[in-house]
Amino acid sequence: MQTIAHWLDGKPFAGTSSATAPVTNPATGVVTGQVALAGVEDARAVIASAKAAFPEWRDTSLARRTQILFRFRELLNERKEELAKLITAEHGKVHSDALGEVNRGLEVIEFACGVPHLIKGGFTENASTKVDIFSIRQPLGPVAVISPFNFPAMVPMWFFPIAIAAGNTVVLKPSEKDPSSSLWLAELWHEAGLPAGVFNVLQGDKVAVDELLDNPHIKAVSFVGSTPIAKYVYQRGTASGKRVQALGGAKNHMVVLPDADLDLAADAAVNAGFGSAGERCMAISVVLAVGAVGDELVAKITERAKTIKTGDGTRDTDMGPLVTREHRDRVAAYIDAGESDGASVVLDGRGIQVDGEADGFWLGPTVLDHVGSGMSVYTDEIFGPVLSVVRVDSYDEALELVNDNPYGNGTAIFTNDGGAARRFHNEVEVGMVGINVPIPVPMAYYSFGGWKNSLFGDSHAHGIEGVHFFTRGKAVTTRWLDPSHGGLELGFPQNK
């Protein structure tokens, strides 16, 4: 059985620790490999590689960095089907969803290819007599990316293309549940011509995470995961003097007003609630049905959800398994609790018939109606294919529920009333808002991130906030009393 290793100095690194964890195909329940779990010495070796590579990469020209980024982008675009199949094999999401994940990651790489424009500074001539001032943005040094299981390719690509383009070196700590994508990406960087040590992979668990948070050579940490762990990462990392952006959990509400197109709203609720088996931080998990639309909306949602074909993501299916057996059982327990608390189970995913092996981690689309705000299915982030419908009397009641929620990642409103939509995006206390769009993930040139307990730190991912996170500003004041001459140069020195 294969052991999935670390990546250090441009090649696989077995490490010295004998600890491993099983990697399982969620659609079959079969263990397909073992991932190495780093000890402290392994983590320090990988960090040392990133530290050693930093000075040369920092001083590599923007022209050269950009050429490597473009080459990486082209290679990934040519071979994205290969990466998508790897994601499906370890995460379980259907192939089309895995391919979509890779394409969204490609958008950030394309954004990072514009790094010369993104990090250019300003210049003021004669701020004082014969005194000029200019500003520059410089890389931080070695940085860490700690990514979750649900997007093993896309989430790391929210961060490392920008970090590398800006002149930093990177240590990626992927989830131990689906670690192979990280090595695949490392090999692709190597093929694209990235120098050894600029991109490294550290497999592991809490031991590896804690070393990244404590080690003084790591200057910044980007994290995506559950809120309790995000808070831990933020507190421990900042206590060590690091920059930290820690994106946490979510409980995303979709408000449906009486004037909305209910067919559009029902389609959106099903797509956003059950895509990737609900294992998305931007998944819609709560529908707030306003006024008299509840019965018709629930009927339309249920009708559509019944048509979803659950099964092995390598087959002709719409929704795959959950990532582990333990997580499947945890999500199923929430359905049990919701039913016990008085919610109506109008579509039950427990015990569903699937197109897949019996030992897969299956749970079908589930719709709960008449959910109360005190029920655990409403208050907790379930991270599975469970859609809760809460009935409210008015827009104001719906807005109050959204704003009172401790999470503030994403939300949506469905309406044909422009005034109501404008009022909602103005008043709602959430970082990403959709208007007749259920999953309002912005393009790469905007920044991704929520409010409240969905984000710890001051910077969102990618976009200009991501560029600023991975660089720091410097202002330089100069005065030259004598002119100088650099000699003849008839070529194009900016290309060197």
How far apart (Å, rounded) are the C-alpha atoms in residues 105 and 145?
15
Residue 313 DSSP class: T
| 281 part of the active site | yes
Among 153, 218, 163, 152, residue whose Cα is nearest residue 194:
163
Q: Which two tokens stand for residue 132?
A: 């000029």
CB 218 within 8 A of CB 199: no
How far apart (Å, rounded) are the C-alpha atoms in residues 172 and 168?
13
Give Dmax over CA atoms of the chain in angstroms: 84
In this structure, the dihedral spanned by the alpha carbons of residues 120, 124, 125 and 130, taken in order and rounded to 10 degrees, is: -110
For the purposes of burial, counting CB atoms within 10 Å of the CB of 126, is it exposed (0-12), middle (13-18) or buried (19 or more)?
exposed
Q: Does the CA dihedral 483-487-488-494 come out positive or negative?
A: negative
Judged by DSSP in three states, 495 sits in: helix
How far apart (Å, rounded) are the C-alpha atoms in residues 478 and 468?
24
Catalytic one among 281, 323, 347, 392? 281
CA triple 380-405-155, angle to 5 deg: 65
Active site residues: 281
